[in-house]
Amino acid sequence: MANMANALLGAFPAGGAHRVISQRQNLPSHRRSHGVNTVCSSVRGSADDVFLLDYGAGNVRSVRNAVKRLGYNLRDVQHVDDISKASRLIFPGVGAYGQAMERLKHLGYVEALRDYIQSGKPFLGICLGLQLMFEGSTESGGVEGLGIVPGAVSEFDRLKGLPVPHIGWNSLQEMQQSRLLADNQGQRFYFVHSYRATPSEHNKDWVLASSHYGEDFVAALQKGDTYATQFHPEKSGAAGLTLLKNFFESYTEEEADPAPVVRQLEQQHVNGTSQGLAKRVIACLDVRANDAGDLVVTKGDQYDVRDKGTAANDVRNLGLPVQLAGRYFVEGADEVTFLNITGFRDFPLGDLPMLEVVRQASEGVFVPLTVGGGIREFTDADGKHWSALEVASEYFRSGADKVSIGGDAVFAAEEYRRTGQKTGTSSIEQISWHYGAQAVVVSIDPKRVYVADPAQCSHHTVKAKQPGPNGEEYCWYQCTVKGGREGRDIDAVQLAQAVEALGAGEILLNSIDADGACSGFDLDLIRAVSEAVTIPVIASSGAGSPEHFSQVFNNTKASAALAAGIFHRQEVAISDVKSHMAADGLPTRT
């Protein structure tokens, strides 16, 4: 494992994995177009050029990083004429169907895009880029698409009892042979979507592969050199990079040997257990400034990150964020989550080095990245007001795939429960409307409050495994804000249901009581919340052994489980967790 890790860390830019990022540094402005330097001239692309159609959707930096990592030149489509000049075109899409079509029409790209696809030149649509090829979608009240592929896109059937969005690593059923999937040997790919197209007699000549989530849905399309994937190859590790490489170059048996980076990455075990959607194992990095002003990964007991064993009471330093993220990618983490526990309390957006952490990590981590901490509206030192959507957009452009909202979600849920009305102004609603529900994670920080009689409590209660301080046999889970320091009159179930109604796509469910105890996840809490909502729930806090992961998946409806300290301290290896899950018969990407 160590040799593999050393080889794979070569995927990072020189020095990037070990660079110390200071909270005090004044970063250059990242409010230029998408925060990257691209060739902007409208010229005909060379054979090595890949054109990217970025209409302002979500995280396309990961696509850029993957293209760069595979050794190809990337050009942005800057004008409608660039579409016809492209020799190869990638069209990634994230967010709402209606907004995407509206944006394409505003830019004048619709007819040019149709003409390009129908020309037969190499084309790859990703996620929403696949869905827009169909005739239309029921999303956004019903919207007409590009009309290339027969059929309409509609939401997954929530009555089947599966969480929606469909988030995670799923397997493919290939319907025809293709050089795009020539190296596929049962690998799983990363999906994140609430809407899907279904295979039919009318589009069967287009369907390259399907996947299953309660029902069969279109996972990939192909006709000639026109391809599209519902999954994200740029977030699918070795399997995804191999697929992208196959798209970029002609494939023959004599040319089947992939580039060194792909060959290295394939040393990971990617086939996994059985078929279908895998249970996810997520590595979480709590990031904050230490007393020297440098950003470090830390971990506390019940949210206290100070090391009481040192005379200076220092912040625990468990490593550098980019370096650890790279290690967890190599070790097989299905996702990596950064939680900025210093937040936005003291620093305007342009000075936050957390953006640089995400940029550097996304250059070598080809699995999904979630970032949390301070996702809310604020006014900077110059008096400029920033909406929550603008704050989130900076993270997406820096390489994040999802943002995690904490305290701001609690206040929004309280208001929604009080009025029963959606205002459209909460951080959840703004980001979900623009980028889609799958981009919004709500982090809940509850703690137990013991009661003697559930009938005298207005909150959802459970029978406590251990009695309370005065012998109470029941408890409810009070939501908190401000790092657990302030309790609110709303319980975890109430909060989860409210944020789902407001547009959240996933719940990150922590437990202040279980945090740092390493005695297992709070199954009562996780069971109560995961059974009360129809969106995926990530179990967090309390993991201390591989058995705890199997336990939470076998006893609750959790879709994923997250851990931090046991991974940072190398007390438990991600591979051991997944081996235990696989041996227990759980669908696992190992």
- With tokens 């904050």, the residue in question is 288
Catalytic, 81? Answer no
Terminal CA-to-CA distance of the chain, rounded, Å? 13
For residue 475, list its beta bridge partners: 450, 462
Angle ∠(89,94,96) on CA atoms, nearest 5: 125
Q: Which of 82, 335, 445, 522 is catalytic?
A: 445
Q: Are 340 and 354 in contact (CB under 8 A)?
A: yes
Longest dimension (CA), the chain: 76
The one catalytic residue among 54, 76, 234, 515: 234
Does residue 457 carry a catalytic annotation?
Answer: no
202 is catalytic: no
| DSSP 3-state of 440 | strand
Q: Which residue in 34, 166, 232, 568 is the catalytic one?
A: 232
Contacts of residues 113-116 at CB distance under 8 Å and 24 or more positions apart, as own/partner, are 113/53, 113/83, 113/146, 114/146, 114/147, 114/148, 115/83, 115/84, 116/83, 116/84, 116/86, 116/89
Exactly one of 127, 284, 475, 479 is catalytic; name it.
127
Asked if residues 9 and 18 have their Cβ atoms less than 8 Å apart, the reply is no
445 is catalytic: yes
Q: Classify the phi-psi angles of 457: left when phi > 0, otherwise alpha if psi is within -120 to 50, otherwise beta.
A: beta
Phi, psi of 134 (to 5 degrees): -80, 175
| 234: annotated active-site residue | yes
From the list 286, 331, 491, 522, the catalytic residue is 286
Please state the φ and ψ torsions of residue 436, each to the nearest 5 degrees.
Answer: 100, 150
Please, is 113 exposed, middle or buried when counting C-beta atoms within 10 Å of its C-beta (0-12, 13-18, 19+)? buried
Give the whole-angstrom CA distance, residue 503 versus residue 485. Answer: 26
Active site amino acids: 127, 232, 234, 286, 445
